[in-house]
Amino acid sequence: MATIKDVAKAAGVSISTVSAALNGTAPVKESTRQKILEACEALGYRPNRLARGLKTKRSYTIGVIIPELTNPFFPEVVRAIEHKAKEYNYNTILCDTDDDPEVGLSDLHLLIEKQVDGIILIGGVIPRDAILSSRRLPTVAIEKDFNIPQVSCVMADLMGGAYEAVSHLIGMGCRRIAYITCRMGKGVVYRRFEGYKLALKDNQIPFDASLVRESSPDFEGGCEAMKSFKEVPPDAVFSYNDVMAMGALKACSLMGVRIPGDMSIVGFDDIDAVSFTSPPLSTVALPKQEMGSLATEILINTILKKEKPRNVSLSTKLVIRKSCK
């Protein structure tokens, strides 16, 4: 590969002049600039960014650590990150941890050694103290609040999304609104449930614990949860996620319950598949693209010291399809 030295020799000038010409860091006479450009062209010169980064302490690379690219939430977020990064001339090293904290930790270290300028963490794979100890590096977390002042955080307003969905069902006249969910801890999972409860409360509908089902967060789980409503069935179902909602839909079709005639269903996430069910499911869409894009903007701005770390919450969007009357 041709180096800047070769270019300098070919153009009959010094190395520093070539550098100045190429980066515009010092005035260079037009005629010599031309000679230099020609030399570059002739030699097929491409600057070595490792060398440049070594000197400037900027790699123009960010690291993205995610749990599992195959989870339908991630590709769109990652894509938005990559695009926004590109706008700022940054590249993206993608690390998929397979949801294993050990892998996450070693990924993080490798990224640091590769001198990435910043890191985006999606979901909670990295142990908190590992992040604390590498706190030099600009970092933004998506959908996980590490509660570290130096770490920015962008979240979707899950509670608001659930609130809006349930309010919509109530507006359609539903009164016995079931909630099917996976097992709830305190964290992310619980926020949707809070939205559900608040919407009921704000509409003077008493909360009825018998309408809540905890099940596995998959198709089967949704299916079983639905089937378990034997005696007095609900008139609507709000689901923790789309896959469960699809399971519920399947259960309804097996039991001869008509959607949206006899029952309304709203899911959560807006995965591709739900627009293909019959009827297509209404759902709460996460602002995936916006999350990735904003996270990247915040990250790069803190790298460039144009802004301080901050936390933002982005609103979800209720997508109305055919599964509620």
Partner DNA sequence: CATATTAGTCGAATCGTTTCGATTATTAAT
Partner DNA sequence: ATTAATAATCGAAACGATTCGACTAATATG
Q: Which of 50, 130, 132, 304 binds a copy of itself (CB under 8 A)?
A: 50
Q: Does 56 bind DNA (CB under 7 A)?
A: yes
Contact string (CB under 8 A) for a copy of itself, positions 30-49, x = contact: --------------x-xxxx
Q: Does 313 bind a copy of itself (CB under 8 A)?
A: no
Q: Write down the least CB distance from residue 12 to DNA, Å.
A: 7
* CA–CA dist 94, 66 (Å, integer): 8
The item of DNA, a copy of itself, none sharing an interface with residue 273, based on CB under 5 to 8 Å by kind, is a copy of itself
Q: Write down the least CB distance from residue 31 to DNA, Å.
A: 7
* CA–CA dist 263, 13 (Å, integer): 79
* CA–CA dist 264, 147 (Å, integer): 38
Q: Does 39 bind DNA (CB under 7 A)?
A: no
Torsion of CA 97, 98, 100, 105, to 10 degrees: -10
Q: With CA atoms as reference, report the closest residue to 85 among 286, 298, 287.
A: 298
Q: Which of 38, 41, 87, 98 binds a copy of itself (CB under 8 A)?
A: 98
Q: How far is CA 98 from the centre of its chain?
A: 16
Q: Does 278 bind a copy of itself (CB under 8 A)?
A: yes
Q: Does 112 bind a copy of itself (CB under 8 A)?
A: yes
Q: Which of 6, 76, 145, 235 binds a copy of itself (CB under 8 A)?
A: 76
Helix axes 15-23, 4-11, angle to 10 degrees: 100
Q: Does 318 bind a copy of itself (CB under 8 A)?
A: no
Q: How far is CA 174 from the centre of its chain?
A: 32
> By C-beta, is 83 or 197 nearer to a copy of itself?
83
Q: Which of residues 222-251 bind a copy of itself (CB under 8 A)?
A: 243, 246, 250
Distances (CA, A) of 178 to 3, 174, 200, 207: 67, 10, 11, 10
CB of 313 closer than 8 Å to CB of 290: no
Q: Does 42 bind DNA (CB under 7 A)?
A: no
Residue count at the site for DNA (CB under 7 A)? Answer: 33
Q: Does 272 bind a copy of itself (CB under 8 A)?
A: yes
Torsion of CA 252, 255, 259, 262, to 10 degrees: -120
* CA–CA dist 273, 241 (Å, integer): 12
Q: Which of 54, 130, 132, 320 binds DNA (CB under 7 A)?
A: 54
DSSP 113-126: HTT-SEEEEESS-S
Q: With CA atoms as reference, report the closest residue to 283 among 249, 232, 309.
A: 249
The item of a copy of itself, DNA, none sharing an interface with residue 93, based on CB under 5 to 8 Å by kind, is a copy of itself
The residue ranges that bind a copy of itself (CB under 8 A) are 1, 44, 46-51, 53-54, 59, 61, 68-70, 72, 74-76, 78-79, 82-83, 86, 91-96, 98, 103, 107, 109-115, 133, 136, 219, 243, 246, 250, 253, 271-273, 276-278
The residue ranges that bind DNA (CB under 7 A) are 1, 3-5, 12-17, 19-20, 22-23, 25-33, 45-48, 51-52, 54-57
